Structures are given as structure tokens and as C-alpha cells.
Amino acid sequence: MPDYSIQAKRHAWQRAKKAADVVEATALGKREADVPGGAARQERLLLDRLRNENFAEPVGEAWLRIEPHFKKGDEGQRVIRGVLHALTLSGNATLMPIDYRLSMKRLKELKGFADQLYMYFTDDIARDPLWTIIAGSGLTNERNFQDMVVFLEWIRLFLAAREGEFAHIFDQIGLTREVKAPVARRGVFAAALSKAMHNIFGKWFDDVVVISTDVALGTQTSIDQVKHARKSAARRRGRTEASKN
């Protein structure tokens, strides 16, 4: 590994900051209204972290390692975007239940039940005389009934969206049922950034991913952990693609 001087690292950090500034202006735009815990807000906080002088040396070192591979001129901004995407994806990982296979099965079942309830209350229930007896005036009131139907529709849409969200995330990450949330977040971040770096440069930058993961998440990551994360994600993507064919 090259041994960079502190001065070289700090100069490279300045160049990295400029790329972060461009990404913030062009990619994030004026999304200031994002809620405190929302994705855009977290992305801005990460950009601030990358530009913080306390992280000048590690960020500068990472930048020095990738700069010799710049060819088109926009690689720096693409790397920053890759870091932001990895952060968002890793944030989603902490929301995932440990047993994601069971979670997907359960979501499908709930969505099916919600569909049946919606169809029943919007169609068959209107012709079911027992409804009047059991529900009483509270829910047979037309306005209350319509509100209930609307709520059922929201439940259907929520479960369908959640199923799609889970499926999309699981297609991109290599979690197993044994992986706990803190480890999953690091693994997902490392795998996503590794894939982004490979897409940009055509090669793996495990050392740069180690530095970026530690700066972004405040962790202590090893090369072996990064390699394991990206290989696990690749295996899962391979199984997913195979199941689609």
C-alpha cells in the first residue's frame, strides 16, 4: 500500500470535498423539507461528515487511492453518490426483521387477507343481512362504512408497497437469518459501495470501502469483512437472478 503524507491526504480531501459539494447541489438539490430522520437528511449529514476536518486524513487517503483511476472526470462524483446510496440501503437493513424469509411469507399472507377483506366489504357485505345485526348502527352508517373501506384500501396499498420494498432490498443485499442489525448495516453498506466502485472502475477497492465504511458508520471494519459482505451479496443476487429465469 502507498504511504501518503499528511499534506497529500489533506490536499486530496479538499478535492473530495469539491466533489461532495457538486453532488449536494445537483443530486440533493433543494430537498430541505426532508424529515429529520429521512433519507435526504441522512445523506446531507454524511456529506457533512465527509467534509469534516476530523476525517480529512482517512477521506484524503481513500481519494488518493482512487484518483489514479479517474478517466472520464466524473468518477469522484459517482463515488460520492455510491456512498450516499450505500448509506440509504444500509439504513433500510436495520428495519428488516431478522428472519426475512418468514417476513416475506407473512407479508404475502397479510396482503392476501387484506385483499379478501377489501373485496368482501366493498361487494358481498352489501348483500349480507347478518352485517346489520352484528355491526349495529356504528358501522352501517354510510359515512363510517366508507371510511372503513378507505382504511382497508390504505392497508392493502401499505402491505403491497412493503412487500415490494422488502423484495427490492433483499435482491440487493446478502443478509442471512443469523445476521443482527448492526452487523447487517455494515455489511449492506460495504456490499453496496463495493458494487458501486466496481461499476465505476471495473475493479474492487476493498481498502477504500473499509475507510468509507468506518467514516460513514463510525465502525472498525476489516478487509476480510468487506470481502465477505460483497461476496455474500453477489451470491444472493445470483440466486435471485436464477430464480427469475
Q: Chunked in runs of 10, what are the mean pLDDT values of the chain (245 residues)?
A: 87 96 78 58 89 95 95 92 89 62 75 85 67 60 73 86 71 53 79 93 95 93 91 69 47
pLDDT of residue 208: 96
Are 11 and 56 in the same domain? yes
> In angstroms, what CA-CA distances link 94 with 24, 28, 50, 102?
25, 23, 22, 16
Are 89 and 113 in the same domain? no
173: in domain: no
Structural domain containing residue 79: 6-96+180-223
pLDDT of residue 25: 87
CA atoms of 158 and 84, how far apart (whole Å): 26
Are 20 and 122 in the same domain? no
Are 15 and 79 in the same domain? yes
Note the Cα 53 to chain centre separation in Å: 27
Are 114 and 139 in the same domain? yes
Are 50 and 68 in the same domain? yes
pLDDT of residue 5: 94
- Report if pTM > 0.95: no
pLDDT of residue 11: 96
Are 10 and 92 in the same domain? yes
CA atoms of 226 and 211, how far apart (whole Å): 10
Q: 215 with 52: CB under 8 angstroms?
A: no
232: in domain: no
Structure-block grid coordinates of residue 53: 476536518
pLDDT of residue 107: 79
